[in-house]
Amino acid sequence: MNEIEHFIPGEVREQEIPLKRYLQPFPANVVSRYVATCTSPGDLVLDPLAQRGTLLVEAAAQGRRGIATSFNPVNSLLVHGLLTLPSPQEIDSATTRLGDSLKRGVPLREHIQRLYASTCARCLQPATPQYFLWNGEDDRPVEKYCQCSYCGADGRFPVEDADLKVLDTIERQGVHYWYLLERLAQPHEPERKLAEELLELYTPRNLSALTDLSMKIETLFADSPLQAALQLILVHCLDTCSKLGASPLPRPTALRLHPPSRFVERNVWHAFEEAYQQVRRLSPPPEVTVSPDLEHLVSEGSGNGIVMNEPLRQVAAALPPASVSLVIAAPAPYYRPSWTLSYLWSGWLWGREKAALLKPLLRRKTMGWSWYRKRLCAALKTVHRPLRPQGRMVFILERADLTHITNLILAAVGAAFKLDRILYQPEDIHPVKQPMRGAGGAYRLTFTRDDGAGQRPEELSPDPLAAALQEGALRAARELLTERGEALHFSWLHSAIHQRWSRDDLLRQALALEKEVAAADFLEEQLASALHEALMEGVLELLPDDPDEENGLSLWWLRSRGYPHRPLGDRLEQAVCEALREGKDLTHRALTDSIYSRFPGIFTPGPGLVEACIRSYARDDSTSTWHLRPEDEATTLARERVEVLSLLVQMGHRLEYQVSAAEKRVQELLTTAERASRTRLPKGMDVAWKEEGTVCHLFAFRQSTALGDVLSDRGQRASEGRRYILVPDRRLDLLRFRLESELLLRRALADGEWQFIKLSHLTVLTARKSLDRHDLGQVVGLEPLIERPEVQLPLFPPSGFDDHGKR
């Protein structure tokens, strides 16, 4: 069975679906590749922590069968409902029927709208606000938002006495309140008080309206396939119509959910119509045929997917041994409010039996990441039975921090899985400012069964293990920095170190000492100790991302190392050229994958670099395929090089310098005396301008941004005259990107006092009829004076140099 060794960027084009803000991204293109690579047609794949139906869709499209399971009834509704959506016409019919159903002698939609009845503040005609703004301390609305159909008034207006009188007609704890409370918990249950608190997340008016909707859906559409679609719409309203709906999400550790001091009370029917339109725009995937039960899917081949609302241990126990080829998931981080709200909404929609599935998550006052890891570990242990011996478990995360990743790794290793591969790419080119703090990003974690994990290593004790962990950490960090040739922030080191620890079986050994030491803390201590000692001994150093910030040390590098000869950015740019020359009519996805496949494991390119290189070298045509730009074809590049170096030689002569050139094809432009001198130029330089035997100006023409050959030579000193790198304008965007994202590149250019000249400006300068030595200063820099005509040009050369460029 094959495996994926390189990072696959997620093409996250998420649909607007209910509760999206609580869900983890699960990019379809990444899931599809892992299914295609790690399984064969007819195989069974499992998403044990399902929040979306992505796996079932991608598995069905490739002739596999998929299982999506979650203990959370709300998540199961999302997956099942989106996979089995009726047609838009059927959704229209269902919502019309629901709105037309009678409530107290009037259609339900009219009954709900009357709860929000008001008047336009401008023309005093009847108007129904879309929402009210409440001041929680006063326990009353203070403003309303209206769009008047009579006078066209649109905006927020003060609440009037008549608006408050409408509120007074609604009981604070009426029949709807007690109905919901009984669906959540009985009086003797410990969750009763929590249920009371949760119902306070809704105003009495919204509580009444939402309950009327849920009761009508339950009675009118019992046992109908339309019920799930209407519940999808309703669960979105349960989220957006609470007092938390328009507020930022609560903090992950929030034990109790309290309304903010100011909140929005949405008009429930308006919110329902908005959610209805959102769901109506979605469509079920045609490939997925949902099986009626697990036995039909596994044994009889009826359908190609199933959604289950069961604890993972029960699903795993029901599956035949060694029946699953791939387990793939996007595990959510520790986020207690999501479980609390799911408990509320599960009881609201289905009653106490469904809500009970979430009660174990509510009865602990202290939870945290340690609890999260242990609970996930216990669940993953049950996967061993149905997973094939050579099967894989893959976690795909688009936005994760180090705490989340560390606990996922330890949970899986504790469940007798081995970390085979960790692929990481940060989400931002700008690093964090603390040297031991990670930067969030996308991860691909691949695990296999560790059949030897049940045995404790002999004579295992903390001290020798600590020494081995520190040695492994330092070796991994040095190899990573050396091989990438980049200064990196801590998350890169964290990934490489955990990969090394897993390869050396040190993670399993640390977890075997769990009774003696807290494994997570123990590992963190050894990692920190290894890096601290490396700093003290002069093996590694910390560099500031911004030289002007004294306390901005954030990037790790090898002490006393200069600019590397072939940093990763240089190699990547070359790989993009090669991929474009080798492949014809490449789609963007094929081109991107071809490039990433050349940089497996620790060589995963940083964010945005691949795209920046593609934009610099490739063009797309009307068929959405990509080709190498004509100006970057080999013959064109060779001709351009000769032309540019010839311009430099001719310009040097016009300015009355003696000229040396390394390129044989332009040496015929030199004078007899210049050719006879055979001056050897410094490494990587193409043309030199001299006066009286002293170098005044040195030029390197580069048709790429790969500068390792000139910047890595530490023997060149600034006293050799001014040094310039001449670049074609088509490389400027890529150059700016690399300057922004690569500290070592910026530092090497500054240390060597290198300056850039754009090729277009040099061409303009050489076309002038008259030219003097001061004119060169007009075109120096990425934002030269020639682009700023309003700036007064200097009458004298920059400080430190004379008219001839001498110090």
pLDDT digits (tens, 9 = 90+) for 483-506: 999 999 999 999 999 999 999 999
Rounded distance, CA 118 to CA 127, Å? Answer: 5
- In 10 A of CB 634, how many CB atoms? 10
Burial (Cβ within 10 Å: 0-12, 13-18, ≥19) of residue 335: middle
Tell me the per-residue pLDDT of 270-296, one tens digit each, with 9 for 90 and over: 999 999 999 999 988 888 888 888 988
Residue 799: pLDDT over 50: no
State residue 556's pLDDT score. Answer: 95
**Amino acid found at 274:** E
Contact status, residue 38 vs residue 1, Cβ threshold 8 Å: yes
Interval 317-332 mean pLDDT: 96
- Residue 344: which of 479, 477, 242, 414 has the closest Cα? 242
Interacting residues of 144 by C-beta distance below 8 A, sequence separation 6+: 118, 129, 131, 132, 133, 156, 157, 158, 159, 163
Strand partners for 106:
103
Contact status, residue 629 vs residue 730, Cβ threshold 8 Å: yes
- 45 confidence band (pLDDT: 50, 70, 90): very high
Residue 31: pLDDT over 50: yes
State residue 551's pLDDT score. Answer: 61
- 81 confidence band (pLDDT: 50, 70, 90): very high
Average model confidence (pLDDT) for the chain?
90
Residue 447: pLDDT over 90: yes
State residue 295's pLDDT score. Answer: 87
Residue 574: pLDDT over 60: yes
Rounded distance, CA 271 to CA 234, Å? Answer: 9
Tell me the per-residue pLDDT of 144-181, one tens digit each, with 9 for 90 and over: 999 888 888 888 999 999 999 999 889 889 999 999 99
Interval 802-806 mean pLDDT: 46
Rounded distance, CA 596 to CA 572, Å? Answer: 9
Greater model confidence, 793 or 45: 45
State residue 801's pLDDT score. Answer: 42
Interacting residues of 128 by C-beta distance below 8 A, sequence separation 6+: 113, 116, 117, 118, 146, 267, 270
Tell me the per-residue pLDDT of 236-257, one tens digit each, with 9 for 90 and over: 999 999 999 988 888 888 878 9
Greater model confidence, 535 or 120: 535
Q: What percent of the chain has pLDDT over 90?
A: 71
Residue 550: pLDDT over 80: no
State residue 610's pLDDT score. Answer: 96
- 789 confidence band (pLDDT: 50, 70, 90): low
Residue 792: pLDDT over 50: no
Residue 69: pLDDT over 50: yes
- Helix or strand or coil: residue 264? strand
- Beta strands, E only, 662-707: 687-691, 694-701
- 719 confidence band (pLDDT: 50, 70, 90): low
- In 10 A of CB 540, how many CB atoms? 22
Which segment of 1-10, 665-674, 774-783 scores lowest on mean pLDDT?
Answer: 665-674
Rounded distance, CA 296 to CA 520, Å? Answer: 42
Q: How is residue 396 written in tokens?
A: 């795909």
Interval 434-463 mean pLDDT: 84
State residue 715's pLDDT score. Answer: 42
Residue 22: pLDDT over 50: yes
**Amino acid found at 380:** L
From first CA to last CA, the distance across the chain in angstroms is: 65
Rounded distance, CA 133 to CA 154, Å? Answer: 15
Contact status, residue 418 vs residue 449, Cβ threshold 8 Å: yes
State residue 292's pLDDT score. Answer: 85
Q: How is residue 98 written in tokens?
A: 């629901």
Residue 385: pLDDT over 80: yes
Which segment of 27-41, 45-59, 112-126, 594-608 scores lowest on mean pLDDT?
Answer: 112-126
- In 10 A of CB 186, how many CB atoms? 11
Interval 443-470 mean pLDDT: 84
- 794 confidence band (pLDDT: 50, 70, 90): very low
Greater model confidence, 792 or 708: 708
- 377 confidence band (pLDDT: 50, 70, 90): very high
Greater model confidence, 452 or 356: 356
Residue 806: pLDDT over 50: no
Q: What percent of the chain has pLDDT over 70?
A: 94
Task: Using the structure block, give the residue that is written with the tokens 């990433």.
Answer: 596
